[in-house]
Structure 1
Amino acid sequence: MATVTHKAVTEPDTETRGRPARKRRAGGQRTATVIALRVLVIVVAVALWQMMSGPVVPEYAVSKPTEVYDALIDMLGSATGWTDIRVTTVEVLAGFGLGVAAGTVMGLVLGSFPLLGRVLEPLVAALNGIPKIALAPLFLLFFGIGPWSKITIAMTGVAFVVFYNVYLGLRLRERELVEVVQVMGGRRHHVLGYVTIPTLAAPFFAALKTGGPLAILGVIGGEFIASSEGVGHELFTAAQNLDAAAEFAGLIVLVALTLALNGVLSALDTYALKCLGLAARRRPQPRG
């Protein structure tokens, strides 16, 4: 009887210990399947593009994947191409960083002082309603065709997104939690560490992921209007020359830049939420 009881107790423990390994294997298989399907979609799309270019769609308008590949190799193999990529990358990163800083400061200030927020929020909303690309000629007058005009356009788009996420996050902060911390003797830095930062973490990083593409859009739009170098300048030149292959090559570079920026922001988001102890909130809860 003792042996039977021992088996009855230990067998569920062994099964329980084996569940995490099976879940990891199942998760790895699902991830591999998703990646394989993504690659398959890309391969099918490129094959259809190659076959339809000419017989179905004019080749001068869409070129062919083989010609786009040659144009991309030429771009990456030249000093001019890498100079354009470097200029656009620096402008995007500078505009993004300055926009995040400006939006965060505005959101914290207006969110921390309710009266000031009620006074200035309509003005901020009115400025945000202006299309950012419409401000490009004004910035060009101030800063010329150099990089600072593009950086300012990118900064403007990112700043408003970050501002609204931080500002609304502060307004939606649970007042009861703040009062509990204060009743327990907590000071402003305790409220900041235990209530404000955990509350703002998710909307702040959501704003960063939204602001990344906006920074790229602002820089490329500014380079379209007036510039002497940059990926946007090359795209505009290729469009004027009806060079579809060079146009698609530039777009591929922009896609790679967007994916790289989003990957860095996603890794930073995961790391920050893990440090704050908020990562578990994003995990899907087991059913049953």
Structure 2
Amino acid sequence: MATVTGKAVTETPTAAPAGKTPHRWRGTGTVIGLRVLVIAVALVLWQVMSGPVVPEYAVSRPTDVFDALTGMLGSEPGWINIKVTTVEVLAGFGLGVAAGTVMGLVLGSFPLLGKVLEPLVAALNGIPKIALAPLFLLFFGIGSWSKITIAMTGVAFVVFYNIYLGLRLRERELVEVVQVMGGRKHHVLGYVTIPTLAAPFFAALKTGGPLAILGVIGGEFIASSEGVGHELFTAAQNLDAASEFAGLIVLVALTLTLNGVLTALDTYALKRLGLAARRRA
């Protein structure tokens, strides 16, 4: 309560404009600033310690890595290698998602078939995917298809298990309620199955992305004539640490880009299905 010229005036706090969250923006800016600071400190320590503390031939220097990266991005062979690896990753990822989804839906929809084949699938999944690389090289040669197949197998099993277990954990009561209310198979699919499988499916996609990159790079390590993995292997043989780190930066950028696209797709799909609020909870 405040008195102005003999009149009582009640002071009320001014409400923040709707839709603005200054504390959230300040918190986000602080986090981003700290991340930049950590990276800057790491680069400075790397530059200073390379040579006096750690052998320069093993870790190079940030300045040399920058020169190697700009040289890679500024040359036609560098972009050809990046394009080859990107195409192989996307193709392997897409085929793996398709194969895993089909296997998961089929085995999850037919319980008897699932019980019969699940141990066989588990046995195949237990084989390290990179151990299959020589076999795929015999089938498809050193071209792109051998790397695509390696990436596909890693992604397919992850997607399969998420879809398969999601179907098995689907609430039977909800299915029966929809059926009692006169719903048909497409109603069960739209109101029960898809909302149940959405979260595990997109989780499988975000897990499978790095696996696809790992499979492609591993295949390019073993036998290839082009690709980022081929360049990494060549740089390691030549003890060229700067080019090695430059290739790793390209792979990190590829991973972050793929993960960002999948995250945006995940958020959009869950929002359209009305599941975004459930995830925030």
Deviates more, 1:26-35 or 1:251-260: 26-35
Q: Counterpart in 2 of 1:63? A: 60
C-alpha RMSD of matched pairs (Å): 1.6
Of 11, 32, 36 in structure 1, the residue corresponding to residue 33 of structure 2 is: 36
The alpha-carbon deviation at position 283 of structure 1 amounts to: 1.8
Output the amino acid matched with 1:237.
T
| d(CA) in 1 for partners of 2:48, 2:135 | 45
- Alpha-carbon deviations, 1:202-229, whole Å to 9, x = none? 0000000000000000000000000000
Q: Which structure's residues are more often helix, by fraction? A: 1
In the alignment, structure 1 residue 201 sits paired with structure 2 residue 193: no
Q: Counterpart in 1 of 2:222? A: 225
- Alpha-carbon deviations, 1:133-188, whole Å to 9, x = none? 00000000000000000000000000000000000000000000000000000001
In the alignment, structure 1 residue 175 sits paired with structure 2 residue 167: no
| d(CA) in 1 for partners of 2:280, 2:109 | 31
| d(CA) in 2 for partners of 1:195, 1:25 | 39
- Alpha-carbon deviations, 1:46-76, whole Å to 9, x = none? 1111111111110000000000000000000
| d(CA) in 1 for partners of 2:161, 2:18 | 40
1:189 counterpart SS class: helix
Q: Could you list the runs of 4 or more consecutive aligned residues of structure 1 that deviate by over 4 angstroms after TM superposition?
A: none
Of 26, 44, 50 in structure 1, the residue corresponding to residue 47 of structure 2 is: 50
| d(CA) in 1 for partners of 2:143, 2:64 | 32
Deviates more, 1:271-280 or 1:28-37: 28-37
Q: Counterpart in 2 of 1:3? A: none
Q: Counterpart in 1 of 2:3? A: none
1:186 counterpart SS class: coil
After superposition, residues 104-253 of structure 1 pair within 5 angstroms as 104-253=101-250
The alpha-carbon deviation at position 19 of structure 1 amounts to: 7.6
Output the amino acid matched with 1:267.
A
Q: Counterpart in 2 of 1:102? A: 99
Output the amino acid matched with 1:143.
F
| d(CA) in 1 for partners of 2:242, 2:105 | 46
1:30 counterpart SS class: helix
In the alignment, structure 1 residue 75 sits paired with structure 2 residue 72: yes
Output the amino acid matched with 1:78.
S
In the alignment, structure 1 residue 93 sits paired with structure 2 residue 86: no
Identity of aligned residues (%): 85
The alpha-carbon deviation at position 27 of structure 1 amounts to: 1.6
The alpha-carbon deviation at position 20 of structure 1 amounts to: 5.0
Output the amino acid matched with 2:51.
G
The alpha-carbon deviation at position 21 of structure 1 amounts to: 3.7
2:156 counterpart SS class: helix
Query: 5+ residue gaps in structure 2?
Result: 1-9
- Alpha-carbon deviations, 1:230-272, whole Å to 9, x = none? 0000000000000000000000000000000000000000000
| d(CA) in 2 for partners of 1:81, 1:21 | 46
In the alignment, structure 1 residue 278 sits paired with structure 2 residue 239: no
TM-score w.r.t. structure 2 length?
0.94
